[in-house]
Chains A and B, each alone.
Chain A
Amino acid sequence: NAGVMQNPRHLVRRRGQEARLRCSPMKGHSHVYWYRQLPEEGLKFMVYLQKENIIDESGMPKERFSAEFPKEGPSILRIQQVVRGDSAAYFCASSPQNNYGYTFGSGTRLTVV
């Protein structure tokens, strides 16, 4: 049973480009959470999704960031017109239920140059 799969592991984008981060939850998990970890900072909650629904996006920046979890395929975190401040590690986690423990993926490290 594969764990939470994130890809790519490393992503380099120039300022102004778009970044797409993918997360495939563990088999049987329908709840997905995205977190961002800036250098020397703790993980910050961004968004919580179930299949085809955004449940809580209170941690998402108001502009340029969006997330989806379609009926088929992985969850996608999309960052448009990236800026240097978007450079961070982005972690995805999944769980079978919302109040159940979850498992993190290995993360995507985004570097904006």
Chain B
Amino acid sequence: RKEVEQDPGPFNVPEGATVAFNCTYSNSASQSFFWYRQDCRKEPKLLMSVYSSGNEDGRFTAQLNRASQYISLLIRDSKLSDSATYLCVVNTGFGNEKLTFGTGTRLTIIP
């Protein structure tokens, strides 16, 4: 089993729709969780951290379920500029070198 698993997609979603991505992780000792965004042939960029209580940043909402070892990202009112690959990232320790990246879910917003 992969340490971090994501549905690779692609997700093709009309503009304005709501889309949800899921991610599962295998290491129950994982300490912190993130969603990164990676545009085609570019570097990953931090989108948001994920907290147990859930957190929201504008149109983006992230949720964490430690019992099920499951992370989600919800994008509301999707924009064309949201087209990218979304990476689920889990830290199994306390240092940056312990970050494990999922293979990503590719999202395309259709006009």
A93, B46: Cα distance in complex, Å:
12
Stretch at the interface among B12-20, B53-61, B72-80, B97-105: B97-105
Binding site secondary structure of chain B: mixed
A109, B43: Cα distance in complex, Å:
11
A113, B41: Cα distance in complex, Å:
20
Are B102 and A99 interface neighbours, CB within 8 A? no
How big is chain A's contact interface, by range? 20 to 34
Are B96 and A99 interface neighbours, CB within 8 A? yes
A98, B93: Cα distance in complex, Å:
11
Are A42 and B104 interface neighbours, CB within 8 A? yes
A91, B41: Cα distance in complex, Å:
11
What count of chain B residues pass the 8 Å CB interface test? 18
A42-B87, A42-B101, A42-B103 known; A98 vs B43 contact (CB < 8 Å): no
Mark out the residues of chain A between 74 and 113 whose CB falls within 8 Å of any chain B CB in the assembled complex.
89, 91, 93, 95, 98-102, 104-107, 109
Q: Does A72 contact B (CB under 8 A)?
A: no
A4, B96: Cα distance in complex, Å:
16
List residues of chain B with CB within 8 A of the CB of A104.
43-45
List residues of chain B with CB within 8 A of the CB of A91.
43-44
A61, B4: Cα distance in complex, Å:
21
List residues of chain A with CB within 8 A of the CB of B45.
104
A41-B103, A42-B4, A42-B87 known; A48 vs B43 contact (CB < 8 Å): no
Are B103 and A48 interface neighbours, CB within 8 A? no
Q: Does B42 contact A (CB under 8 A)?
A: yes
A41-B103, A42-B4, A42-B87 known; A107 vs B43 contact (CB < 8 Å): yes
List residues of chain A with CB within 8 A of the CB of B94.
98-99
One of B4, B44, B95, B101 near A98 (C-beta < 8 A): B95
What is A's interface to B at a CB cutoff of 8 Å? 31, 33, 35, 40-45, 48, 55-56, 58, 89, 91, 93, 95, 98-102, 104-107, 109
What is B's interface to A at a CB cutoff of 8 Å? 4, 41-46, 87, 94-97, 99-104
